[in-house]
Structure 1
């Protein structure tokens, strides 16, 4: 079976699963369809590109199952013209999908290998509205102004105020929180003036955030 056919069939099956869970945003699904998942999956896991399983990638990191990735982006509710910050580039799959819907994306990761490889994948897909940077995501991003949306894909023990301060009024942030030693839950904060509305979404597999950039990987 050709890669193109695998992509087509995998996406079709994904759409059916997502619709069963109430995810039917046409703009989001179009962005996902335009972003071939196989580009972001290690070759040995190509058959699982559109599965819900977690896939290991470089530097001990992982690629979320595609169902979870799209559910997270659906919860983020990205609109055209928005500026988005992503903390935790990983493979770059969610970065690429976000870039197809937003005006500009800044994505950071502590691992040089991940940011370098993600940059190459984005360039191969002719995605030009993303800045990829190796940076420490544990203490906020300084000197970049405010964002309409912030997505963090590493878990905090408490909601990171330094990131919520970088939201515009009306903006929202999604981040995983460690509810207990073994449970991590995705939470959305929406900024209204100087107040934040908190909404718990669903459990997620993310690992705790690690401070400082990695010097060797």
Structure 2
């Protein structure tokens, strides 16, 4: 099956499933359609790019299942003109989708191999407003100021203050939290002034956060 057919059939099936869940965000769906997952999936896994399966990447990382990734982005609710921070670049797919909507996306990754791969993928997709940086996400985006939206894609044992401090009033932070040794859930924080409202959303397949940049890869 050609990548184009995989993309068309995969996206059409996704739209039907999301409509059944009451998700019909046109900006998000347009951005997803314009960002082919086959570009971001390793060649040997292209046929799984639009499935609900985890797709293995280098360095022990993975692409989330397609439905999960879009549901995550729907929960983040990115709007035009916003500045977005992502911690954990992976393949670059979620950063690419957000880049179709937001004004600017900064995505941070600890593995050089993934940084280089994500940059290539984003270039192939023609996305120019996403900056991929090799850095330690655990210390936050030094010198970058605040963001309207922050998406963290590796799990913490408790809510990380380092990211909430970089959130504007009215901003949203999405972060996976380990509820136990085996359960991880997506948590959404919405900032209003100095107050943070927390919502526990849905289970997540993420791995515990690893601080510092990788010595290899």
In 2, the alpha carbon distance for the partners of 1:131 and 1:32 equals 19
Give the drift of 1:173. 0.2
Q: TM-score, with normalisation over the residues of structure 2?
A: 0.98
Instruction: Confirm or deny that 1:122 pairs with 2:130.
Output: no
Q: 1:36-89 deviations in whole A, cap 9, x for unaligned?
A: 110111111111111001111110001000000000000000000000000000
Q: 1:159-189 deviations in whole A, cap 9, x for unaligned?
A: 0011101001110100000000100000000
Give the drift of 1:2. 2.3
Give the drift of 1:206. 0.4
Instruction: Confirm or deny that 1:166 pairs with 2:176.
Output: no
In 1, the alpha carbon distance for the partners of 2:210 and 2:2 equals 39
Q: How many residues are paired up?
A: 217
Match of 1:86 in 2: 86
Q: TM-score, with normalisation over the residues of structure 1?
A: 0.98
Give the drift of 1:213. 0.3
In 2, the alpha carbon distance for the partners of 1:179 and 1:3 equals 38
Match of 2:54 in 1: 54
Match of 2:151 in 1: 151
Q: Which runs of no fewer than 5 residues in structure 1 stay unpaired? A: none
Give the drift of 1:3. 1.7
Match of 2:19 in 1: 19
Give the drift of 1:151. 0.2
Match of 1:37 in 2: 37
Give the drift of 1:139. 2.2
In 2, the alpha carbon distance for the partners of 1:85 and 1:171 equals 11
Give the drift of 1:215. 1.7
